[in-house]
Amino acid sequence: MKLVKSLALAAVAVSLLPTATAGAAEFYAGKKITCVVPYSPGGGTDSFFRVVVPHLARLIPGKPDVIINNMSGAGGLKANNYASNEMPNNGSEMLCAPWLSIAQLTKRKGVRFDYSKMRVVGGESAINTAIINKDVLVGGDRTTIGKGKQPLVVAGLSPSSTLDLRQRLGLDVLGVKYKYVPGYRGSAKQIPAFLSGEVSLLGLNYGTYVSVMKSPLVDQGPGMLWVDYPNIGADGGASANAVLKNQGVPALDEVHMKMHGKPPSGQHWEAYKVLDNLSSMGLSVWLPAGTPDAAFNALKAGWEALPNDAAFKAAHEKAFGKAVNFVNYKGALTAQNAVATVKPDMVKFFQDYIAQGEK
Residues 251 and 301 in one domain: no
Residues 271 and 333 in one domain: no
Residues 141 and 265 in one domain: yes
Q: Tell me which amino acid residue 116 is.
A: S
For residue 358, being part of any structural domain is answered with: no
For residue 120, being part of any structural domain is answered with: yes
Its pTM stands at 0.83
Query: To the nearest whole percent, how much of the chain has pLDDT over 70?
Result: 93
* Count of domains for the chain: 2
Residues 255 and 288 in one domain: no
Residues 242 and 336 in one domain: no
For residue 14, being part of any structural domain is answered with: no
Q: Mind listing the pLDDT tens digit for each residue in 38-52?
A: 988 888 899 999 999
What local confidence, expressed as pLDDT, does residue 17 receive?
38
Q: Show which of 253, 277, 301 is a domain's final residue.
A: 277
Residues 238 and 177 in one domain: yes
Q: What is the mean pLDDT of residues 11-37?
A: 68
Q: Do residues 161 and 353 touch, judged by C-beta distance below 8 A? A: no
Residues 314 and 264 in one domain: no
Dist. CA 348–CA 243, nearest whole Å: 34
Residue among 284, 320, 74 at smallest CA distance from 204? 320
Residues 119 and 147 in one domain: no
What local confidence, expressed as pLDDT, does residue 25 receive?
65
Residues 94 and 234 in one domain: no
Dist. CA 289–CA 280, nearest whole Å: 22
pLDDT confidence tier of residue 210, bands split at 50, 70 and 90: very high
Domain housing 262: 128-277
Residues 297 and 330 in one domain: yes
Residues 179 and 309 in one domain: no
Q: Show which of 277, 307, 332 is a domain's final residue.
A: 277
Q: Do residues 188 and 107 touch, judged by C-beta distance below 8 A? A: no
For residue 197, being part of any structural domain is answered with: yes
Residue 8 pLDDT > 90, yes or no? no
CATH number at residue 121: 3.40.190.150
For residue 2, being part of any structural domain is answered with: no
Q: Mind listing the pLDDT tens digit for each residue in 271-307?
A: 999 999 999 888 999 999 999 999 999 999 999 999 9
Q: Mind listing the pLDDT tens digit for each residue in 139-192?
A: 999 999 999 999 999 999 889 889 999 999 999 999 999 999 999 887 788 999
Q: Show which of 235, 254, 277 is a domain's final residue.
A: 277
What local confidence, expressed as pLDDT, does residue 359 receive?
85
For residue 1, being part of any structural domain is answered with: no
Average pLDDT value over all residues in the chain:
91
pLDDT confidence tier of residue 73, bands split at 50, 70 and 90: confident
CATH number at residue 151: 3.40.190.10
**Cα-based angle 145, 218, 98 (whole degrees, multiple of 5):** 85
For residue 355, being part of any structural domain is answered with: no
Q: What is the mean pLDDT of residues 85-99?
A: 96
Residue 108 pLDDT > 90, yes or no? no
